[in-house]
Structure 1
Amino acid sequence: MDASIKSLLYSGTVIPAHPLALTADRQLDEARQRRLTRYYIASGAGGVAVGVHTTQFEIRWPQFNLYERVLRLAAEEIDKANLDRPFIRVAGIAGPTEQAVNEARIARDLGYHIGLVSMGGLKDYSEDQLVQHVAAVAEVIPVFGFYLQPSVGGRILSYDCWRKLADIPNLLAIKTAPFNRYQTLDVFRAVCHSERRDEIAMYTGNDDNIVADLLTVYKIPVNGKIVEKRFAGGLLGHWSVWTSKVVEQFNEIKANPLDAGLLSTNIAVTDMNAALFDPSHSFKGSIAGLHEVLRRQGLMEGTWCLSDHEVLSPGQAEEIDRVIREYPELTDDAFVRAFLEKDKI
């Protein structure tokens, strides 16, 4: 990994999870897909994660066969931007070991820096087999570990599992997204007890607790001493919308980590996330909720997903109306309007 990319990964940054733009007949909308990548670059994000849950795992299904294509589109737009700053390319990697290793090769060959390895759907794997699975991917590309919440296909993993994962030499970061404080603490304890603790960047994926996660210093007793570790940044589906404001907020947190007022902001962000991610319906509208905001802003044509069941839940549009009305300071409609004026397709 390039030294400037690794430095940014460790120091922390904003990494939106990249959505999938489709046409009304559920074909890839290449022009808007490319423009979404440009929007994240223009917003000041420090990277993008492509081929992840927000991009829809169905891109891997044979009838769609979009995995390599969407990774390539994002890579091409990043190349075209000719940035004078580091920008982290994260590739989502999923499926059984053979598939995951193949996806890692595709991502590496397209210039991606690190692979976010989902262990969702591997219910038949023991925890030791999951460790071997991640280690196999790490032989191909640096790894971003991923604790995915059970409600969207993940599973609860033990402290011992994370302790073994932390010792994999090419695992450079971990995204914790169990939406659970106990399980998040398990990961921090495991990393802090590893001799590799300073080689692993922690990223929040807990959309229900984003700001508080970024403000928290974990103080873990290790062999009679206190080891301090905190989230360096975030890799979040929530951050795929209102991204320019997210970057402003992230920079404020970095500059003022002791500002108690930011804890109130955390509540506002969690309220907005509830409208987007639809926890009252077991997160069924989580992808469609993001699409709805991007549709309203003109960044997407519609909320269509590859699967017919991925739609807004009853009352979700009204909840999005409410949070936009109540927290206008956390939206970036003006930024997007100015962006679209310059970025015609």
Structure 2
Amino acid sequence: MTGLLTFGETMGLVAADGIGPLGHAKSFSFGIGGAESNVAMGVARLGGAATWLGRVGPDATGALIGARIAAAGVRTLAITDESFTGLMVRHRRSGEFAQVDYHRAGSAGSRLSPADVPAAEVTAASILHVTGITPALSESARAAVFQSIETARAAGVAVSLDLNYRAKLWSRYDAAPVLRDLASRADVVFASPSEAGLFVDTADIPAELAKLGPTEVIVKDGGAGCIALIDGERHTVPALPVTVIDPVGAGDAFVAGYLADRLAGAAPLERLTTAIASGAFAVTVPGDCEGAPTRADLAALTGDDVRR
């Protein structure tokens, strides 16, 4: 077993510095972002083994993506495609609202296909992690997700799914049946209340999702913490009080914390506690993946705020 395997599109990220309308921004930062690579980097920073696979363009952004992910300690399988690397542009219109625009139609990442995900990589993994973003990119990317899941299930490899619904990629009507199908094939499912509400009754989200088949259901609810149903046992873990600098990437850090501890053989409550702490730490740092913590960061999170 080689730890976590995940795949999907990672893009260049142009982020306006400061808060206000995009047209008034005076400076910008450039980085990378992608739900799957964020999780892989988060797992690696917490000491787990992780592999990320995806297509990138023959451009500087594609090269940066491969280098940044590898530098985080992730085994990186970047396939160079003839198309361009996708971009996203983000700005904070106000202190409470962030907007992200995608430039990814026809991108290298959207051209992912089943042939890009070798069965040997899937069967060698301890956990296959997928998201609801990749199936929205293209028919070939969707086929890659479903094929990899079936390969994992046949080999006894645990399948983890973060629903990660993106309204700018597909409608609720189109997404709901696909996400429901994916959830029914997964062992571990992560969802926000609104994402789960696409296809289950929200009166008892963990129980309703568990009816579809997963044995581990974790509902991420931001400042309210999380609730989970794991192997039939319910858990509730409150959020940690922190100063929020940038909420983007918190969900991916949460998932990384849970999966890193799962790989390490931790008990369910310990996994959830690490997930909460990882998500809390991530929001204190700007950027999609820059805030993913190490074990030392988590140990310091509830301690003295001055390190000498």
- After TM superposition, the score normalised by the length of structure 2 is 0.42
**Higher RCO (CA < 8 A, seq sep 6+):** 1
Structure number having the greater helix percentage: 1
Structure number having the greater strand percentage: 2
